[in-house]
Structure 1
Amino acid sequence: MKKVAILTVSDSRTIDDDTSGKLIAEIMTNNGLSLSTRVVVNDDIVNIQAAYLQLEQANPDIIITNGGTGIAQRDVTIPAIRPLLTKIIPGFGEAFRQISFAEIGTRALASQALAGFNHRNQLTYCLPGSKNACQTALDKLILPEYDHLLFESSAQRKEVHHHAH
């Protein structure tokens, strides 16, 4: 069973009123993943990185962050996480902004939503903090594709992949 870890970035939320983190956990467990851990951290680059690296060490297959992906001064999730990823999946952010644009218009363009793999080949998604945005990303982009992405990345690592096609 695949394991998911959730990191909520917020100056105002606690683990109890972290509605987006709860929603992500619910959707993922309802879809057959197990929740390894859920953490809330404030909007601080070093704290975000420290929390992320701790989650990484717990060895989940997927790490999902939510919050701090806008362009405000205090939105620092992307500058915190991006350097910890060895491979970015550009299509994820592009598709997310496109889908969001259809839902909320030009405000979607300020979202820096991101996906990629870290040094341990764990699939990482950085989502906005809004419940709607998380729901959209999970339903339309994450659930349909995470399995294939994990398979592709592990096949590449084992170098068996070039014979498969």
Structure 2
Amino acid sequence: MSHSPHPDSNHKTVCCAIVTVSDTRTIETDKSGAIIQQLLKDANHQVADRKIIKDEPSLLQEYLELLGKNKNLNAVIFNGGTGIAPRDTTYDAIAKLLEKTLPGFGEIFRYLSYQEIGSRAIASRAVAGIYKHKLIFSLPGSSNAVELAMKKLIIPELIHLVGQVKS
């Protein structure tokens, strides 16, 4: 069931960057990044940048700081590195830079994930927030998780949230 409390203009295009966090993926093998890119394109949004970065906190923070300087960019969608394994450092690197958080994103994402994968959803540290007037989403790297977050949460609210950040 999809709820839309208020209509958003379908004429707005949101400019996004996609960052896949992985020590092993390439653009050719990055299925999750490709899903994000296709779903954004299908929703008439622009992908200004797509990159793969190793799961190293300093590299993630440096790249987010660089993206924060791009005046045309509205949102950054990270995927990968949100679990609890020793190499999963995306949450730790990004969360400390967020100026505001959207706790509901992670809560609802884990709830929706629980409905699909059961109690293993508790290991997800998916997070969203604001950094330098840009929406930041950090998703797990699994293709199913990416598709769930994009279709059920991000795409339906992207225009509205960008409008809120800009107002």
Could you give the per-residue CA deviations for residues 77-136 of structure 1, whole angstroms, max 9, x where no partner exists? 011011111000000000000000000001101100001000x21001000000100000
Which protein is richer in helix relative to its size? 1
Aligned equivalent of 2:5: none
| Deviation at residue 53 of structure 1 after TM alignment | 1.9
Partner of 2:8: none
- Asked if the contact 2:32–2:146 (Cα under 8 Å) also holds between the matched residues in 1, the reply is yes
Instruction: Percent identity, please.
Output: 43
Counterpart for residue 133 of structure 1: 145
Instruction: Tell me the SS of whatever aligns to 2:28.
Output: coil
Residue in structure 1 matched with residue 6 of structure 2 by the alignment: none
Find the aligned partners of 2:35 and 2:92 in 1 and give their Cα distance.
24
Aligned residues: 154
Q: Whose RCO is larger (CA < 8 A, sep 6+)?
A: 2
TM-score when normalising by structure 2: 0.89
Query: Please, which of 65, 68, 86 is the counterpart of residue 78 of structure 2?
Result: 65
Map 1:15-54; keep pairs closer than 5 Å: 15-54=27-66
CA contact (8 A) 2:77 2:139 kept: yes
Q: TM-score, normalised by structure 1?
A: 0.90
Do structure 1's residue 104 and structure 2's residue 117 form an aligned pair? yes
Specify the alignment match of 2:16 in structure 1. 4
Where structure 1 has 5 or more consecutive residues not aligned to the other structure, the ranges are 156-165
In terms of mean alpha carbon deviation, does 88-97 or 8-17 score higher?
A: 8-17
Q: Is the 8 A contact 2:21 2:90 kept in 1?
A: yes
